[in-house]
Amino acid sequence: MAHEATHDQHDHHHAPQGFFQRWVMSTNHKDIGTLYLIFSLTMFFIGGSFAMVIRAELFKPGLDLVQPYFFNEMTTMHALVMIFGAIMPAFVGLGNWMIPLMIGAPDMALPRMNNLSFWILPFAFALMLSTLFLPGGGPAGGWTMYPPLSLQSGSLAYVVFSIHLMGISSIMGAINIIATILNMRAPGMDLLKMPVFVWSWLITAFLLIAVMPVLAGAVTMLLTDKYFGTSFFNPGGGGDPVLYQHVFWFFGHPEVYIMILPAFGIISEIVPTFARKPIFGYRAMVYAIACIAFLSFIVWAHHMFAVGLPLGADIFFMYATMLIAVPTGVKVFNWVATMWGGSMTFETPMLFAIAFIILFTIGGFSGLMLALVPADFQYHDTYFVVAHFHYVLVTGAAFAIMAATYYWLPKWTGHMYNEFWGKVHFWCSVVFVNVLFFPQHFLGLAGMPRRIPDYNVAFANFNMISSIGGFLFGASQLIFLGVVVHCAFFARKKAADRVWEGAKGLEWTVPSPAPHHTFEVPPVVRDEELAHGHVND
């Protein structure tokens, strides 16, 4: 680190010259954060275009556009790209940009590893997406890759390798974030004075380190089953297909929280800012995140209630799953209590944060319903589940990422984004996302399975409504792109250092745009400047 510090002295006042040197060889947390965010936005549109194919085919009964196998490739790729390409890198990008600024650190603890963990990703996704153009096509067995079906795919090896790469990237990113938070906080930035976003990332990073190797193990077993004659999951050789599901979901459920805990952190920063009131129950918020993270390890089999688990297992996993509602409820109540008695304004980040709280809670409600095993026997693998996880991932994770983008964009670019078009983007998104996903609850309850390219005419009306909502929601995201590009390159209105009136925390003490190097000398931390500096509860 000392070496890095001396190196940084050379280009103290300016970014490295030259496009290649600045963006490809960068070790700067802000530039790498920007790269992550651009990558994530690109993947968001690629994954979104797959979703458009899905919704177009499902627009009306009858196969009109694509063959069933291609449809399955689209559902599989949509999930893989959105989860590993859009949501996770977006959070890593936000963490890269904001964690050092929020804790008063000059950079990430391991800047070169930071560069590597980003630059693995484009190659991993190029590999995975290339399968769509190969003979035999891409993976079509669902993002969960259940054997024996996934073993029928000719592109399995590509997908396994790209997942290994993504896993390496994620683990390196997580190590970097833990090392940064634990070692590089400015003096006076106690753990329990850290922004909730930093806390949420610290906990998320531990989840990543714990479960990404599990996924790597699971997919490696798939690989050896297909190509090296092992029988981990092959009943003909004494294996067990259900074993894969246990291993996969031991990764998969914490993975779900990897995609939502940083969102909790973001919302916990934005709501106090625009309510102009400290967050209610700071410690309860931190403990709730830790509690949810712990519970995420003991609920995995609730994804498997239909595989024929023993009664005792069904009961245990049902109770454990229901328990998650308690800390999650505490978080929602605390956000509402933060608003209560505040002095609120409703700029675009706050609008997205409020929509997050309401719509994520709706996703939580359907999650509670899904936890009840007898009811899950009906809901499982239907559009009810599709509606549920899109409420938590789109109106949850993705809305939080958009809220964070509007919230910190002026700090990144030095210019204010266009508030009018930001609000247009918000209102279009929040209306159309509900037109898109709410009817899917009804489809699932009426009996429409997920992952089918065609359906009985009884499901026609809600599918058409959902598709219309999907097209309009997809188009609305072009407004987002426009607002971001405009703010980055064309906006005139200078952003103040403290962009938002009620904003507190170290990131608002540096100029806008944040200079290439910040906090080379640790800041003097004064509790009243921090969002959570005077916590005594």
Q: What residues between 18 and 77 interact with other proteins by CB under 8 A?
A: 61-64, 66-69, 72
Closest CA to 408 of 416, 398, 396, 399: 416
Comparing CB distances to other proteins, the nearer of 369 and 479 is 369
Buried b (16+ CB within 10 A) or exposed e, 150-178: bbebebbebbbebbbbbbbbbbbbbbbbb
Q: How far is the CB of 328 from other proteins (least distance, A)?
A: 9
Comparing CB distances to other proteins, the nearer of 213 and 533 is 533
Six-digit token string for 450: 């997920």
Q: How far is the CB of 471 from other proteins (least distance, A)?
A: 17
Comparing CB distances to other proteins, the nearer of 46 and 452 is 452
Helix/strand/coil (H, E, C) string of 170-207? HHHHHHHHHHHHHHCCCCCCCHHHCCHHHHHHHHHHHH
Q: Where does this chain touch other proteins (CB under 8 A) — which range of 29-37, 214-222, 258-266, 277-285?
A: 277-285
Q: Torsions phi, psi of 498, nearest 5?
A: -95, 95
User: What Å distances lie between residue 36 and 89, 96, 118, 459, CA to CA?
Assistant: 6, 9, 7, 39
Residues 305 to 364 in contact with other proteins, rule: CB under 8 A: 306-308, 311, 314-315, 318-319, 322-323, 325-326, 329-330, 332-333, 336-346, 354, 357-358, 361-362
Give the CA angle between residues 486, 418, 97 to the nearest 5°: 70
Comparing CB distances to other proteins, the nearer of 22 and 60 is 60
3-state secondary structure of 361: helix
Q: How far is the CB of 390 from other proteins (least distance, A)?
A: 17
Q: Where does this chain touch other proteins (CB under 8 A) — which range of 87-95, 168-176, 371-379, 522-530?
A: 371-379
Distance between CA atoms of 518 and 511, rounded to whole angstroms?
Answer: 9
Instruction: Yes or no: say if 200 and 264 are a contact pair by the CB < 8 Å rule.
Output: yes
Among 179, 284, 424, 435, binds other proteins (CB under 8 A): 284
Comparing CB distances to other proteins, the nearer of 329 and 513 is 329
Comparing CB distances to other proteins, the nearer of 42 and 230 is 230
Q: Torsions phi, psi of 428, nearest 5?
A: -60, -45
Among 79, 259, 373, 400, binds other proteins (CB under 8 A): 373
Residue 426: count of CB within 10 angstroms of its CB: 26
Residues 233 to 252 in contact with other proteins, rule: CB under 8 A: 235-236, 239-242
Residues 130 to 159 in contact with other proteins, rule: CB under 8 A: 140-142, 146, 148-149, 152
Distance between CA atoms of 263 and 325, rounded to whole angstroms?
Answer: 17
Please give the size of the binding site for other proteins, defined by CB under 8 A: 101
Q: How far is the CB of 70 from other proteins (least distance, A)?
A: 9
Residues 477 to 536 in contact with other proteins, rule: CB under 8 A: 502, 535-536
Q: How far is the CB of 191 from other proteins (least distance, A)?
A: 18
Distance between CA atoms of 258 and 10, rounded to whole angstroms?
Answer: 37
Give, as one character, the DSSP assignment of residue 133.
Answer: G
Instruction: Yes or no: say if 502 and 339 are a contact pair by the CB < 8 Å rule.
Output: no
Comparing CB distances to other proteins, the nearer of 117 and 366 is 366
Which residues are part of the catalytic machinery?
A: 78, 107, 143, 169-170, 253, 255, 257, 268, 302-303, 328, 331, 450
Instruction: Yes or no: say if 296 and 207 are a contact pair by the CB < 8 Å rule.
Output: yes
Comparing CB distances to other proteins, the nearer of 100 and 453 is 453
Q: How far is the CB of 411 from other proteins (least distance, A)?
A: 22
Contacts 24+ apart (CB under 8 A), 252-256: 252/144, 252/215, 252/300, 252/303, 253/296, 253/297, 253/299, 253/300, 253/302, 253/303, 254/207, 254/210, 254/211, 254/293, 254/296, 254/297, 255/83, 255/211, 255/215, 256/296, 256/389, 256/392
Q: How far is the CB of 75 from other proteins (least distance, A)?
A: 8
Alpha carbon of residue 41 to chain centroid: 12
Comparing CB distances to other proteins, the nearer of 229 and 374 is 374
Q: How far is the CB of 388 from other proteins (least distance, A)?
A: 12
Among 116, 368, 472, 496, binds other proteins (CB under 8 A): 368
Q: Where does this chain touch other proteins (CB under 8 A) — which range of 17-25, 101-109, 377-385, 468-476?
A: 377-385
Q: How far is the CB of 157 from other proteins (least distance, A)?
A: 19
Closest CA to 395 of 295, 469, 481: 469
Residues 174 to 233 in contact with other proteins, rule: CB under 8 A: none
Six-digit token string for 67: 């063959």
User: What Å distances lie between residue 222 and 83, 163, 307, 347, CA to CA?
Assistant: 20, 12, 19, 48
Residues 407 to 466 in contact with other proteins, rule: CB under 8 A: 442, 445-462, 464
Q: How far is the CB of 80 from other proteins (least distance, A)?
A: 14
Distance between CA atoms of 491 and 489, rounded to whole angstroms?
Answer: 6
Q: Where does this chain touch other proteins (CB under 8 A) — which range of 30-38, 180-188, 273-281, 415-423?
A: 273-281
Contacts 24+ apart (CB under 8 A), 77-80: 77/47, 77/50, 77/128, 77/129, 77/132, 77/138, 77/139, 78/47, 78/50, 78/51, 78/54, 79/142, 79/143, 80/128, 80/139, 80/143, 80/159
Comparing CB distances to other proteins, the nearer of 44 and 426 is 426
Give the CA angle between residues 240, 246, 249 to the nearest 5°: 140
